[in-house]
Amino acid sequence: MNATATQALIERPSCPNCRAEGKTVVRTTIAEIGRWPKFCGSHYRLEELGLSPETPLSIRWCIACDLGFADPLLDPEHVRRLYNDVIVKPQARATYARSLDYRRRQARLILSLLEANGPQTEPRRLLDFGAGWGLFLHEARDRGWEPHAIELADEERSCLEKDEFKVYPVLDDAPDGFFDAVGSTQVLEHVADFQEITRACAAKLRRGGLLYIDVPNAGHFARRHGSWSANPLEHVNYFTHRFLTRWLSHQPGFELVWPRLLASPRQSWRAVRQALGLSPLTVIFRKRFIK
C-alpha cells in the first residue's frame, strides 16, 4: 500500500485490492463521530486518541472491486489506544450482551457448517483470529472442538486465558498445518491488512481444512452512502459478497464450500440474500494444497 503517515494517520486513497482510486461516499470527522448514537454517553472516550476533533475521516468505495475502505487509517499506536483505552470495556460488554443471542446463532451456524464439510479427524482443532471474549470458542468447546485463539486486546486476552483457552500472542506463533478450521467472526472489517491475515490463517490449516469468514454485509445499496452506522475509526473495510467470494476464489488453493449459488435451495437462497446485502456475510472456503 502506497501510504504516508501524517499526525498519527496513514493515508489510504486507493483500493487495497486493485489500487484504483476509491470514490468517497462518506466524509466525517472525529467530532461528528462522537455525536453519532453509538458513540454518545460513556461507551467511547474518543479524547483518549489524542487527535483533533476536526481530524477528517472518510469511507471510499472501489467500483471495480466492490470493496469499501476507510481513508485515512489510524497508525498502530492509535489503533492500540482505540481498543484498549478509547472503548470502555464494561459498557462494551453490556452492548455485546444485548446481541448475544444473534451472535450465538451465528456461531452455531458456522460450527455446523464446519462439522458438515470439514475433516472428521479427532481431535478437531480450531483457531479463531480475534476471539474477543470467547463466545465462539465456548460454543466450539461445548461441541467437542479443541479451540485456540488469537486476541490482541489486553482485557479480552486475559479473559480467554482465565477460561483456559490456548491463546497465541500473534498469528505467527500458531503452528502451521495444524488446524482443521481457522477463521474469524466480525474481525476482518477492523484490520487493514485483511489479505495478509487471511493468507496467514490459511497457512495454519491442515490438508482439507476450512477457512471461515463472517463480516458485516456492506452489499445493500443504502449502506454505501452516509449514515449514522458508518464507522471508519473501527471499521476500515466494507465487504460485499461479490468482492469476498471473487477475491478468495482467485487465491491459489481456495475452493468455495458455502454458500454456493447452484447447490441446494438453502445455499442458493443464502447466496442470493448475501449478494443483495440482506443477510449476514458468512463464507466458508476449503484450502486445497497445491503440489
Range of the domain at 31: 5-94
Query: What pLDDT sits at residue 158?
Result: 92
Looking at 94, 110, 131, the residue that finishes a domain is: 94
Query: What pLDDT sits at residue 227?
Result: 56
The span from the CA of 44 to the CA of 11, in Å, is 24
Sequence-separated (6 or more) residues with CB below 8 Å from residue 197: 129, 171, 188, 191
The alpha helices in the chain, defined as continuous H runs, are 30-35, 76-81, 89-98, 100-117, 135-142, 154-162, 194-203, 241-249, 265-275
Query: What pLDDT sits at residue 225?
Result: 59
Q: What is the CA radius of gyration of the chain?
A: 19
Looking at 52, 72, 94, the residue that finishes a domain is: 94
Query: What pLDDT sits at residue 190?
Result: 94
Query: What pLDDT sits at residue 41?
Result: 54
Query: What pLDDT sits at residue 220?
Result: 75
Residues 110 and 25 in one domain: no
Inter-residue contact 256 to 244 (CB < 8 Å): no
Residues 112 and 79 in one domain: no
Residues 79 and 184 in one domain: no
Residues 154 and 278 in one domain: yes
Query: What pLDDT sits at residue 100?
Result: 84
- Please give the single-letter amino acid code of residue 44: Y
Residues 89 and 220 in one domain: no
Query: What pLDDT sits at residue 38?
Result: 61
Overall domain count for the chain: 2
Q: Output the pTM of the full model.
A: 0.89
Residues 196 and 68 in one domain: no
The span from the CA of 133 to the CA of 24, in Å, is 34
User: What average pLDDT does the chain have?
Assistant: 87
* CATH code where residue 195 lies: 3.40.50.150
Residues 90 and 126 in one domain: no
Residues 262 and 280 in one domain: yes
Residues 109 and 230 in one domain: yes
Residues 46 and 123 in one domain: no
Asked if omega into 13 is within 30° of 0 (cis), the reply is: no
Q: Report residues of the chain scoring pLDDT below 70.
A: 1-7, 36-43, 221-230, 289-291
> For residue 52, which phi and psi values (nearest 5 degrees)?
-60, 140
Residues 190 and 68 in one domain: no
Residues 133 and 80 in one domain: no
Query: What pLDDT sits at residue 120?
Result: 81
Query: What pLDDT sits at residue 229?
Result: 57
Looking at 64, 94, 124, the residue that finishes a domain is: 94
